[in-house]
Chains A and B, each alone.
Chain A
Amino acid sequence: MANKVFSKDAWLEALGGLKEHYRVFLPLKDGDFFTYKPIEEAKKIHFDYDNTRLSPKGLIFPQSERMFEFSLDTQDPEANILKEAPKDDSPRAIVGVRPCDAHAVGLVRRNFDNPEYRDPWWVKHVEAATYVGLGCNAPCATCFCKSVGGGPFNEEGLDAMMVDLGDRFLVRALTEKGEEFLSRVQGGEAADEEVLKEARELAQKVTDEMPDTVPTGRLKDLPVMALFEAPFWEEVAFACLNCGTCNYLCPTCWCFDIQDEVYKTEGIRLRNWDSCMFPLFTLHGSGHNPRDQKFQRVRQRFMHKLKYYVDKYGDGVQCSGCGRCVQFCPVNIDIRRVCGLMDAYEPGA
Chain B
Amino acid sequence: MIQYTDKIREIAGRLLKDGTVEVFIGYRKGTVPMMNEPVLIRDPDQVDTLHWDVNCGLNLCNYLTRRTEKIGILATGCNSRNIVTHIIENQIKREQLYIVGIPCTGMVDHRAVKRAVGGKEILSAEQQGEKLIVKGADFEKTFEIKEILQSNCAVCRHRNPVEVDEMVADPVPEQEGVEPYKDVESVEGMEPRKKWEFFTRLISRCLRCYACRNACPLCYCPTCFVDESRPQWVGKSNDPTDTMTFHFLRAYHCAGRCTDCGACERVCPVGISMRQFTKKLNKDAEELFSWEAGLTMEQRPPLDVYRPDDYNDFIK
Q: Could you tell me which A residues sit within 8 Å of B by CB distance?
A: 30-33, 50, 53-54, 63-64, 138, 140-142, 235, 238-239, 241-245, 247-249, 257, 259, 261, 270, 272, 275, 278-280, 283, 326-334, 336-337
Residue on A nearest B270 in the bound complex, by CB: A53
A-side contacts of B31, CB under 8 Å: 326, 332, 334, 336-337
- Would you call B223 and A259 a contact (CB within 8 A)? no
Rounded to whole angstroms, the CA-CA distance of A53 and B213 in the bound complex is: 20
- Would you call B121 and A140 a contact (CB within 8 A)? yes
Rounded to whole angstroms, the CA-CA distance of A327 and B34 in the bound complex is: 10
Within 8 A of A (CB), among B220-253: 223, 227, 229, 235-239
Q: Could you tell me which B residues sit within 8 Å of A by CB distance?
A: 30-32, 35-40, 58, 62-63, 111, 114-115, 119, 121, 123, 137, 205, 207-211, 213-215, 223, 227, 229, 235-239, 266-267, 269-271
- Would you call A259 and B235 a contact (CB within 8 A)? yes
Given known contacts A64-B237, A238-B63, A332 and B30 CB-to-CB distance under 8 angstroms: yes
Starting from the known contacts A53-B270, A279-B227, A330-B269, 7 additional A-B residue pairs (CB-CB under 8 Å) come to A33-B271, A239-B38, A248-B209, A257-B236, A278-B210, A279-B223, A333-B37
B-side contacts of A278, CB under 8 Å: 210, 227
CB distance from B45 to the nearest CB of A (A): 15
- Would you call A248 and B30 a contact (CB within 8 A)? no
Rounded to whole angstroms, the CA-CA distance of A244 and B206 in the bound complex is: 12
A-side contacts of B210, CB under 8 Å: 243-244, 278
A-side contacts of B235, CB under 8 Å: 259, 261
CB distance from B90 to the nearest CB of A (A): 22
Rounded to whole angstroms, the CA-CA distance of A328 and B35 in the bound complex is: 9
A-side contacts of B211, CB under 8 Å: 241, 243-245, 330
B-side contacts of A244, CB under 8 Å: 207-211
CB distance from A108 to the nearest CB of B (A): 19
B-side contacts of A270, CB under 8 Å: 237
B-side contacts of A243, CB under 8 Å: 209-211, 213-215, 267
CB distance from A112 to the nearest CB of B (A): 20
Rounded to whole angstroms, the CA-CA distance of A32 and B236 in the bound complex is: 26
Given known contacts A238-B38, A241-B211, A259-B236, A330 and B137 CB-to-CB distance under 8 angstroms: no
- Would you call B32 and A326 a contact (CB within 8 A)? yes
- Would you call A330 and B266 a contact (CB within 8 A)? yes
Given known contacts A32-B111, A331-B38, A261 and B32 CB-to-CB distance under 8 angstroms: no
A-side contacts of B269, CB under 8 Å: 53, 245, 248-249, 328, 330
Rounded to whole angstroms, the CA-CA distance of A303 and B63 in the bound complex is: 24
Given known contacts A261-B235, A336-B31, A32 and B115 CB-to-CB distance under 8 angstroms: yes
A-side contacts of B266, CB under 8 Å: 330
Rounded to whole angstroms, the CA-CA distance of A202 and B209 in the bound complex is: 38
CB distance from B143 to the nearest CB of A (A): 17
A-side contacts of B208, CB under 8 Å: 244
Tell me which of A32, A138, A272, A275 contacts B137 (CB under 8 A).
A138
The 8 closest A-B pairs by CB, nearest first: A330-B267, A64-B237, A243-B211, A241-B214, A244-B209, A332-B37, A239-B38, A332-B35
CB distance from A241 to the nearest CB of B (A): 4
B-side contacts of A53, CB under 8 Å: 269-270
- Would you call B123 and A280 a contact (CB within 8 A)? no
A-B contact pairs, 17 of them (CB 8 A): A31-B271, A32-B111, A32-B119, A33-B270, A141-B32, A238-B38, A238-B40, A239-B37, A239-B39, A243-B214, A244-B210, A245-B209, A259-B235, A279-B227, A330-B215, A331-B38, A332-B37
CB distance from A271 to the nearest CB of B (A): 9
Tell me which of B115, B205, B237 contacts A261 (CB under 8 A).
B237
CB distance from B95 to the nearest CB of A (A): 23
Tell me which of B32, B207, B267, B271 contacts A142 (CB under 8 A).
B32
B-side contacts of A32, CB under 8 Å: 111, 114-115, 119, 271
Rounded to whole angstroms, the CA-CA distance of A248 and B30 in the bound complex is: 22
Given known contacts A239-B39, A243-B209, A327-B32, A283 and B214 CB-to-CB distance under 8 angstroms: no
Rounded to whole angstroms, the CA-CA distance of A259 and B236 in the bound complex is: 8
CB distance from A104 to the nearest CB of B (A): 18
CB distance from B37 to the nearest CB of A (A): 4
CB distance from A325 to the nearest CB of B (A): 10
CB distance from A263 to the nearest CB of B (A): 10
Rounded to whole angstroms, the CA-CA distance of A326 and B269 in the bound complex is: 12
Residue on A nearest B272 in the bound complex, by CB: A31
- Would you call B58 and A331 a contact (CB within 8 A)? yes
- Would you call A64 and B238 a contact (CB within 8 A)? yes
B-side contacts of A50, CB under 8 Å: 121
Residue on B nearest A238 in the bound complex, by CB: B40
Rounded to whole angstroms, the CA-CA distance of A239 and B174 in the bound complex is: 30
Rounded to whole angstroms, the CA-CA distance of A249 and B268 in the bound complex is: 12
- Would you call A242 and B238 a contact (CB within 8 A)? no
Rounded to whole angstroms, the CA-CA distance of A331 and B266 in the bound complex is: 10
A-side contacts of B30, CB under 8 Å: 332
- Would you call A141 and B121 a contact (CB within 8 A)? yes
Tell me which of A64, A241, A247, A272 contacts B215 (CB under 8 A).
A241
Rounded to whole angstroms, the CA-CA distance of A235 and B41 in the bound complex is: 9
B-side contacts of A63, CB under 8 Å: 207, 237-238
CB distance from A330 to the nearest CB of B (A): 3
A-side contacts of B62, CB under 8 Å: 241
